[in-house]
Amino acid sequence: MDIIIVGCGKVGTALADVLNDEHNVTIIDKKEALVEAASNDYDVMGIVGNCLQTEVLDEANVDKCNIFIAVTASDEVNILSCLIAKKMGARHCIARVRSPEFDKQLVFMREELGISMMVNPDYNAANGIAKVLRYPEAINIESFAKGRVDLAEIRITSGSILDGVALSQLSRRMRLDVLICAVQRGDELTIPNGNFVLRAGDKIHMTASHSNIVKFFKSISAAYREKRVKSAVLIGGGRVAYHLAQQLIEMGVKVKIIEIDRDRCLELSDRLNKVDISCADGTDHDILEEERVYDADAVVTLTGIDEENILLSLLAKNNGVEKVVTKVNRMSLMQFSDTLDLDSIISPKTITVNQILQYVRARQNSMGNSVTTLYRLVNERLEAIEFVVRDEKEYVGVPLKKLKLRSGILIASIVRGNELIIPKGDDCLKVNDSVVVVTTTKGMHDLSNIFD
């Protein structure tokens, strides 16, 4: 497909990175240096210019483009350039709109202005954090097949009952209907077979239905028993904090926000109900003690500076906070994050990129490609892809044990109608099934790619 990306910031470049393999990508930005760097690193065409000028859009062949993605720093520019692009013939437009002021008119913009999709990274990040707080043991949770399958990432702590258990014993001994699809041990990422023995320190990715995931968490952690997060402290009162606070209150969590800027505090207190807001420097240890931050069930660090967030998270962890969530913008610097004792790291950028990518995949899907959802995990080394079985191929109806899968690939689950199947050797694929595949190989476009 022909894709135009406007705005060459963090999100724009990350999108160019993941899209340039399969699609014809053109990037537009005002800054020469950014365009130059992106077109050096990725196989994309770069155009320097203002994305609101029809001349510039014309040069990018906007009339032939399938998806137009506006991710500049300004909401207004994004919306406007989408409108112009739409008028000039772009088929689908995606705008990044982050200001909460536009929240209520998203439907208007979609239906009346014809912008196909609005992405709000702050809202998405808040969503992701809320999900993590709902299951305190989990590091990350993604959902597939319209929420019927969850993909959860957890870390095995020492003393856990999973320590030293072989995967084949898992379902027999514990009667858990989950599938471990990938294990990250140190720097190594493996797609395990039944003989694989789990060890403390491993990070595991598993798929199961929503209720089974809850059951799983209940049985692995003796202390789990309804131990929900009841109180949370958010350090930093930016837009993510605003969205998160709203969601947490809905979940019945007591929320406290610590924000250094008085005006921002006032603004937050105007807009939010039932939230404690303190105007203080959240990086001051004394204040944190005074505010009883360490007594909270969860601490979420949301300041604008990655380094501060990481240090604050480590501090909270050291002081015995059960669940710590860290917001990090520059994920590329986080390759060492496993060596730190941080359990959940959330990157608004990665979430935005994933969301846009899902949309692109869905469009591609409507053009005959069968991928519906795609997640990139573990620093983009692992992909979890959802395929739809469209028509009778040679692999349809054959028991899985008779099919030869390529190495590094696992069929994690099959969704047939409302039923979730954790596949065994005797199961087979049928037309209209949704199949979730976990792989370390990139560039799977079709289900037939996974078989030898």
Partner 1 sequence: MNYRMISYIMGQILKVVGLFMLLPILVGFIYGEDHVVASFGIPFLITMAIAIIFTIKKPKNNSVFSMEGFVSVAASWVTMSCIGALPFVISGEIPDYPSALFETVSGFTTTGATILEDVEAMSRSCLFWRAFTHWLGGMGVLMFVLAIMSSNDSRTMHMMRAECAGPKVGRLVSKSRFSARILYGIYITLTVSEAVLLLCGGMPLYDAVIHACSSAGTGGFSIWGDSIGHYDSVYIEMVIATFIILFGVNFNLYYYLLIRKFSLATKNEEVRTYFGVIIAATIIIAINVHKLYDGVGDTLRHTFFMVASTITSAGFSTTDTAKWPVFSQTLLLMLMFVGSCAGSTGGGMKVSRIMILIKTGIKELKYITNPRAVTTVKMDGKPVEKDVVRGVSNYLILFIMLMCISVLLVTLNGFTIEESASAVITCMNNIGFGVGRFGPAGNLGGLNAFSKVVLCFDMLLGRLEIYPLIMLFVPRRR
> Can you give the binding site for partner 1, defined by CB under 8 A?
2, 20-21, 24-26, 32, 39-46, 443
- Given CA atoms 270, 272, 278, 282 in this order, what sign does their dihedral have? negative
Q: Which helix (H) or strand (E) holds 373?
A: strand 371-377
Name the residue nearer to partner 1 (CB basis): 43 or 341: 43
Name the residue nearer to partner 1 (CB basis): 44 or 93: 44
- Given CA atoms 7, 10, 13, 17 in this order, what sign does their dihedral have? negative
Name the residue nearer to partner 1 (CB basis): 32 or 419: 32
Name the residue nearer to partner 1 (CB basis): 61 or 231: 61
CA neighbor of 275 nearest in space, from 322, 234, 227: 234
> Rounded to the nearest whole angstrom, what is the least distance from the CB of residue 287 to partner 1 in the complex?
45
Q: How far apart are alpha carbons 360 and 311 in whole angstroms?
A: 36
> Rounded to the nearest whole angstrom, what is the least distance from the CB of residue 49 to partner 1 in the complex?
9
Q: How far apart are alpha carbons 384 and 371 in whole angstroms?
A: 11
Helix H segments across 42-175?
54-59, 75-88, 106-111, 121-134, 167-174
> Rounded to the nearest whole angstrom, what is the least distance from the CB of residue 61 to partner 1 in the complex?
9
> Rounded to the nearest whole angstrom, what is the least distance from the CB of residue 262 to partner 1 in the complex?
43
> Rounded to the nearest whole angstrom, what is the least distance from the CB of residue 21 to partner 1 in the complex?
5
Name the residue nearer to partner 1 (CB basis): 312 or 374: 374
Name the residue nearer to partner 1 (CB basis): 25 or 415: 25
Name the residue nearer to partner 1 (CB basis): 65 or 302: 65
> Rounded to the nearest whole angstrom, what is the least distance from the CB of residue 65 to partner 1 in the complex?
11
> Rounded to the nearest whole angstrom, what is the least distance from the CB of residue 45 to partner 1 in the complex?
4
Name the residue nearer to partner 1 (CB basis): 44 or 234: 44
Name the residue nearer to partner 1 (CB basis): 65 or 377: 65
Instruction: Render the burial of 105-120: b for 16+ CB within 10 Å, e for the rest.
Output: eeeebeeeeebbbbbb
Q: How far apart are alpha carbons 127 and 390 in whole angstroms?
A: 32
Q: How far apart are alpha carbons 320 and 315 in whole angstroms?
A: 9
> Rounded to the nearest whole angstrom, what is the least distance from the CB of residue 26 to partner 1 in the complex?
5
Residues 6 or more apart whose Cβ sits within 8 Å of residue 117:
92, 93, 94, 95, 110, 356, 359
> Rounded to the nearest whole angstrom, what is the least distance from the CB of residue 367 to partner 1 in the complex?
18
Structure tokens at 365: 């899907």
For residues 54 and 88, the answer to whether their CB atoms sit within 8 Å is: yes
Q: How far apart are alpha carbons 27 and 70 in whole angstroms?
A: 10
> Rounded to the nearest whole angstrom, what is the least distance from the CB of residue 24 to partner 1 in the complex?
4
For residues 256 and 231, the answer to whether their CB atoms sit within 8 Å is: yes
Q: Is 425 exposed, middle or buried (0-12, 13-18, 19+ CB in 10 A)?
A: exposed
Indicate left, alpha or beta for 147 from its phi (over 0: left) and psi (-120 to 50: alpha): left
Structure tokens at 158: 């020492």
For residues 194 and 424, the answer to whether their CB atoms sit within 8 Å is: no
For residues 209 and 418, the answer to whether their CB atoms sit within 8 Å is: no
> Rounded to the nearest whole angstrom, what is the least distance from the CB of residue 63 to partner 1 in the complex?
12
Name the residue nearer to partner 1 (CB basis): 40 or 195: 40
Name the residue nearer to partner 1 (CB basis): 160 or 364: 364
